[in-house]
A and B are shown apart, each in its own frame.
Chain A
């Protein structure tokens, strides 16, 4: 079996430099994660604890099987915005009673767990992941509902959340709501639309209108407990299926419910035994340059994430700036498309289209390792039909039915982002390395394009061109594009499922592959494979 060699020179000066630069980015990433964990801050956390309540991540940790892994999704959602990092909600995939579930937990220390536009987007993405991967959903509910100042951005689209809950149920994807506190007004439909509802005695409050609203609407005097207390819902309204004596008990009941869901994964199980990669994944820090202009060989990455470092390369002599081939990852077969030297030419595009079809024929999931500046431009290439070739690749990516997984390892620019299964192409999961960037084109190129266009416009009008203003404009645009193409900016907007430490790539992909196999893995059939 072809085994990828260890070609990394750990004593080379650039190895140390790259490693140091990446560790710095990771340290910054860790600081931002710390902010997400801190939630609403010390005082809010203390107030919350004083009420005898657990923090959202504490609830999640209790819910999960002891010592099982947990993949938090979009942890830095809302980074760099006026909202608290994390978007006032925690989402992720974990194991409860041996079943992979999607967990969502409001963070009540952040504005009472109110949902803001970023949090809404994050929850929407989590919901999509549950749908695509047939994951039961456990909602750990404690939220004051919509963040009122931003209601215009979330009220109307936000209805989709409740719609999706019941559509999940219709698709036999179970939904469980553990209600720890407020879940009022529209928020009442989170438990309302769930298959199973647990409410914590004396804590859960689930009603459409609270006492003041009821008083205003009908003049009726009432209190919280009468309107939406857990006891009332368990004994009178029947909205609660289980009455928990406290938070621990609610989580115990949640686990009990999941235990009886009788979930079976429909995809093929992974190989029962397999080898770890032969080469140390820690080396990736010294392999990956933070300067996107420096190329690196993705085989050095594959050698550190594939089982046994085994990789059967497909068409190695053709279209060599895209590496394609088959391997196995945590026991799951996988096809790989990895950019080797940035640019995609016609050959690479055709090779990709052919390879994607082959993977569909053999029901093999696909991994896209992005490091591309886009499709080649220029007279020669246009005339030789680079658009047609790129279209073949994008066509194949768009209509492929096997699960796709995308890692942005560095650059993801222009239509290369599309061809290499960017966010809009619905990979099951998309993770970003902290050094990675993505934009329609590079900042300098974009600023230069703007400058050329402006200069041409001035010339056409016969006006003099203000060179000083041009320089200032270029700098401003460059800075803006640079900032907007950074991993943190992208992850803040849920354009990925999270930034990951390159050293966790194999782990995260292993979990993602397992999650995808909750559904049958079936490729698109139809025509025979087009030889390009």
Chain B
């Protein structure tokens, strides 16, 4: 095999940037492919060359192996890195790449295929002596496994084609249902029954193999904290794994890799019961999202190792005798509303600045648009410290001080998890977020006093922005009056409601300021549109603010956390009034179904319109008993957030 000189990354976002970074360090040229939605994304700009994949949906773009190979030829790339997701575990694509004379930076297609069948993989692992959960491929055999058990699609993933069965009587129906779902989703109706562990830990081992017969374990990661079967907090090493267990897990993982003739980076996933017994779950034949925690504790660059191995080189010495230094924790930042069922959120990032001192692998920047077309993960933030507690504290502090505005994220949830007692005690498992209410963990970090302080800073920065933009009297004191009759005021709103800040800036900059009628003892040391340096209650703090009176938003960050406010306009154009009883789209999306017609009588809670956004359905229900007086949308229509869908008149129902 010849040296790789130009890598095309068949992926987007943070992982594309991640691969480019190592490629650049190795002196290898980089090629991006991008959909129309990603035309302005940072990863496209950072690549040496980029090739457009027309369209926006993954099916039109990043999943089109033929287009990706053609792009590699067009840009004269000699290797393809698939990243994770999309085509990364598609054996057919891997074969196309190789057939096209390109280097495939990934495991052999046969290994991908072997691990693609859950059932096949389990058999192979059992034969290789790797512990597996007892399973049965027949309904009759299932009884021996015992309940609860899990009905699983062999070709499945992402929770689809899966059923938990707690009683024998439910089994037959569950198998039928899972089988139907699997056939529909994956084109393969094969299902099997497996022992179901309640709330296990998710432990996975990073393995690496080269084409010279070396297979090495780079230790475990724990990724127990998940929501909707997706990991959100990952760490290495696991607080539940000691050296002895680590070596057994490592041996099992290496055995698994050897069993499929593995080459490259792979992850062997295990479930682990409270008694530390563990069983093979599946093997991921790609670089994992959470690979950075392994990089942090081993000091290895896994992408570099992938490139070396794909070039036919042996694993370097440091990879063959790895060791653990400290502890690393990664969190995944998602554009989603953790307090509202993790509903995905779209929008434009007005501000995006991860605090320094931690590693961040992110695919976005200020101004990036979070579109509904792709995964809602906007990046990962990773802290590495001598101990687990220090890593958690460092990561929490960095997240808290990061500036993220314009799009709701799970940041506050992550910060709370990192400081939560069970988490700090290492008591984590896959049911963590069932025991700890995400609505509470995800609530705004700021307490009431913090929110008031941020509201005050917002008002003062807006004031400064107004003065800075003044065309006349620009340097006359703000809000100056020779006959003061009332203070200045501004009304700002966030998710918790509206806040009225009144203030009067007196002689020498002395400020009288109330937040919702409550006097704040405040002394301002410096005040500009982007920074308010003030003592509140005698404690001095710096508030970084982005106040844009024109767009009507004001974002505040301090050591206490972040707030995003919108400015409530003083005046409302009456032509913009929405008729009373109007139900508006809570998010941008497309109308899937309209369930009522004008004139229909509806009861409170009746579904009226179903929207789809970010691959999730959202039902708009009637807030009241009444009559539908107007339907403004039809199925298939795209709507923006705030568009009126249906108008319900509550008055008529009383009669």
Contacts and interface: CB of A to CB of B under 8 A. Distances in A.
A70 B480 contact: yes
Interface stretch (B326-334, B482-490, B555-563): B482-490
Interface in B522-556: 549
Nearest to B475: A330
B157 to A, nearest CB: 54
Contact of A511 (B473, B478, B571): B473
A69 B480 contact: yes
A442 B490 CA distance: 50
Contacts of A251: 571
A73 to B, nearest CB: 9
Nearest to B507: A503
A510 interface: yes
Contact of B473 (A72, A255, A500, A514): A514
Given A66-B488, A67-B488, A249-B574, A514 B472 contact: yes
Nearest to B465: A67
Contacts of B470: 65, 68, 95, 98
A252 B573 contact: yes
B570 interface: yes
A245 interface: yes
Contacts of A501: 482
A70 B467 CA distance: 13
A33 interface: yes
A197 B537 CA distance: 49
B471 interface: yes
B479 interface: yes
Contact of B472 (A37, A61, A95, A249): A95
A190 interface: no
Interface string A507-519: 1101100100000
Contacts of B519: none
A156 B144 CA distance: 110
Nearest to B478: A67
Contacts of A508: 482
A348 interface: no
A498 interface: yes
Contacts of A504: 480, 482
B570 A62 contact: yes
B482 A75 contact: yes
A282 B571 CA distance: 38
A498 B472 CA distance: 22
B481 A69 contact: yes
Contacts of A245: 574
Contact of A68 (B473, B482, B483, B490): B473
Interface in A87-111: 95, 98-100
Contacts of A514: 472-473
Question: What does DSSP make chain B's interface, helix, strand, loop or mixed?
Answer: loop
Given A57-B485, A504-B482, A248 B570 contact: yes
Contact of B571 (A95, A98, A248): A248
Interface in A322-348: 330-331
A66 B490 CA distance: 9
Given A61-B486, A98-B471, A98-B472, A72 B574 contact: no
Interface string B491-531: 00000000000000001100000000000000000000000
B482 A72 contact: yes
Contacts of B572: 248, 252
A233 B470 CA distance: 36
B350 to A, nearest CB: 21
B176 to A, nearest CB: 62
Interface in A197-245: 245
A245 B482 CA distance: 32
Given A65-B466, A67-B467, A98-B470, A510 B481 contact: no
A294 interface: no
Contacts of A503: 507
B463 to A, nearest CB: 5
Contacts, number: 89
A99 B473 CA distance: 10
A72 B481 contact: yes
A500 B483 CA distance: 9
Interface string A168-208: 00000000000000000000000000000000000000000
Contacts of A252: 570-573
A75 B484 CA distance: 11
A69 B476 contact: yes
A484 B479 CA distance: 34
Nearest to A32: B483
Given A37-B483, A57-B485, A500-B482, A510 B466 contact: no
B141 interface: no
B476 A33 contact: no
Interface in A358-409: none
A37 B485 CA distance: 6
B475 A75 contact: no
Interface string A50-72: 00000001100110011111111
B483 A67 contact: no
A498 B482 contact: yes
Nearest to B487: A61
Contacts of B55: none
B479 A510 contact: no
Interface string B267-303: 0000000000000000000000000000000000000
Contact of A507 (B480, B573, B574): B480
B463 A67 contact: yes
B481 A67 contact: no
B477 interface: yes
A503 B480 CA distance: 12
B476 A511 contact: yes
Contacts of B571: 248-249, 251-252, 255
Contacts of A71: 482
A4 interface: no
Contact of A57 (B476, B486, B490, B508): B486
B480 A282 contact: no
Contacts of A36: 483
Nearest to A248: B571
Nearest to B577: A245
B475 A510 contact: yes
The interface centre, meaning the residue of A67, A331, A501 with most chain B CB atoms within 10 A of its CB, is A67
B483 A58 contact: no
A100 B574 contact: no
A72 B571 CA distance: 24
Nearest to B476: A69
B632 to A, nearest CB: 23
A410 B643 CA distance: 65
Contacts of B570: 62, 66, 248, 252
The interface centre, meaning the residue of A33, A61, A69, A498 with most chain B CB atoms within 10 A of its CB, is A69
B181 to A, nearest CB: 55
A510 B472 CA distance: 10
Contacts of B480: 69-70, 504, 507
A69 B486 contact: no
Contacts of A66: 462-463, 466, 488, 490, 549, 570
A95 B473 contact: yes
The 3 closest A-B pairs by CB, nearest first: A252-B571, A69-B480, A98-B471
15 contacts: A33-B483, A57-B485, A66-B570, A67-B479, A68-B466, A70-B480, A72-B482, A95-B473, A248-B572, A249-B571, A282-B507, A330-B475, A510-B476, A511-B473, A514-B473
Interface of A: 33, 36-37, 57-58, 61-62, 65-72, 75, 95, 98-100, 245, 248-249, 251-252, 255, 265, 282, 330-331, 498, 500-501, 503-504, 507-508, 510-511, 514
Given A67-B463, A67-B478, 16 more contacts: A66-B463, A66-B490, A67-B488, A68-B470, A68-B479, A69-B476, A69-B480, A70-B481, A95-B472, A95-B473, A98-B472, A100-B472, A249-B571, A249-B574, A507-B477, A510-B473
